[in-house]
């Protein structure tokens, strides 16, 4: 049969802006997103690359908004204590009335980031998996006793617990092992630096791993992060190196110049099975660019939705 999936396009703040959200554009940008009825705002998480820390920033934004959902894209899990992190995320969810969209991952695989995070490379994956297990066990609010490789809990009960009893945790990643891990333990996939031709086969890997683990992931829980600038000249000088982390990935597969290119790129991902997007607008005047993107691309794409064939 054919089911209709809800398409949602969130906004990720420009990570190449030295001021980031801490500058004078913070509240005008938040007010504009709320005014436009934007689905969500997503903040990246790094140790050495600058920008606001996602969770405290999202808590502040929650107090100034009523509808805007609040995403972490993605929160670096291995260096953090999962009990404290579960409480911090639950707190943001409670303060926002259930608007938190948490996504986590290993973090950016750059030497400066790995060094600053202070986690041995051979422990990153085990810490991430154990963190996910602990966080998801704590969120329902029942006592948790668990003894793992890195952390142990005895009758620990989380308060406050999230507004939604089953707060979902998505993961990032694109390596085969990461995709299989998403299928085994996550509630969704937020890709980055993945092209539309790769997306569908990668989702198939996740589905197969989920089925092997005796579970499933909702069909509308697959998404990706994309970048959009009015013209190539609008990309800051430092952006090219950071956006070239996968030299083999064609520019037009994850970066769009102009609204026409972005619409075409989103449609290619929709055809590959994606229905959730984080678009990072990069422009000298981000507010004007946001208005243009919303009017010409985001609102029409969301209104159209997408129908995908699925087995009956």
Residues 289 and 283: beta-carbon distance below 8 Å: yes
Distance CA 295, CA 147 (A): 51
Host H or E run for residue 9:
strand 8-12
pLDDT (tens digit per residue) in 266-280: 999 999 999 999 999
pLDDT (tens digit per residue) in 156-176: 999 999 987 678 999 999 999
pLDDT (tens digit per residue) in 177-223: 999 999 999 999 999 999 999 999 999 999 999 999 999 999 999 99
pTM of the model as a whole:
0.94
- The 8 Å CB, 24+ separation contacts for 180-184 are 180/205, 180/206, 180/209, 181/125, 181/128, 181/129, 181/209, 182/206, 182/209, 182/217, 183/207, 183/208, 183/209, 183/210, 183/211, 183/212, 183/213, 183/215, 183/217, 184/209, 184/210, 184/212, 184/213, 184/215
| Domain count within the chain | 1
Query: How big is the chain by its Cα radius of gyration, in Å?
Result: 19
pLDDT higher than threshold 80 for residue 282 = yes
pLDDT (tens digit per residue) in 22-80: 567 788 999 999 999 999 999 999 888 878 899 999 999 999 999 999 999 999 999 99
Domain enclosing residue 54, as ranges: 2-309
Residue 205: which CATH number?
A: 3.20.20.30
Half-sphere exposure of 202 (CA within 13 A, CB side): 29
Q: What is the β-pairing status of strands 189-192 and 222-229?
A: parallel
pLDDT (tens digit per residue) in 226-274: 999 999 999 887 777 778 888 999 999 999 999 999 999 999 999 999 9
């Amino acid at each position: 049969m054919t089911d209709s999936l809800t398409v949602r396009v969130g906004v990720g703040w420009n990570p190449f802006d030295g001021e980031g959200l801490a500058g004078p554009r913070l509240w005008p940008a938040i007010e504009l997103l709320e005014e436009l009825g934007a689905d969500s705002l997503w903040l990246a998480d790094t140790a050495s690359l600058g920008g606001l820390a996602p969770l405290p920033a999202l808590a502040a934004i929650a107090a100034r908004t009523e509808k805007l959902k609040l995403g972490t894209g993605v929160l670096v899990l291995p260096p953090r204590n999962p009990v404290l992190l579960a409480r911090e995320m639950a707190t943001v969810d409670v303060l926002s009335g259930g608007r938190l969209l948490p996504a986590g991952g290993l973090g950016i695989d750059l030497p400066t980031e790995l060094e600053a995070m202070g986690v041995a490379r051979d422990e990153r994956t085990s810490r991430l998996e154990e963190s996910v297990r602990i966080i998801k066990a704590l969120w329902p609010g029942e006592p948790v006793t668990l003894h793992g490789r890195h952390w142990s809990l005895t009758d620990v009960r989380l308060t406050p617990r999230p507004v939604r009893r089953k707060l979902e945790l998505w993961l990032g990643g694109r390596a085969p092992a990461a995709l299989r891990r998403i299928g085994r333990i996550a509630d969704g996939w937020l890709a980055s630096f993945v092209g539309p031709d790769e997306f569908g086969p990668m989702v198939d890997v996740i589905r197969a791993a989920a089925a092997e683990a005796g579970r499933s992931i909702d069909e509308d829980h697959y998404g990706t992060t994309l970048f959009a600038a009015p013209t190539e000249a609008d990309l800051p000088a430092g952006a090219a190196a950071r956006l070239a982390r996968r030299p083999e990935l064609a520019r037009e597969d994850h970066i769009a110049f102009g609204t026409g290119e972005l619409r075409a790129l989103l449609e290619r991902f929709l055809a590959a099975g994606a229905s959730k997007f984080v678009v990072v607008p990069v422009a000298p005047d981000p507010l004007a660019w946001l208005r243009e993107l919303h009017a010409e691309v985001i609102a029409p794409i969301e209104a159209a939705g997408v129908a995908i064939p699925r087995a009956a």
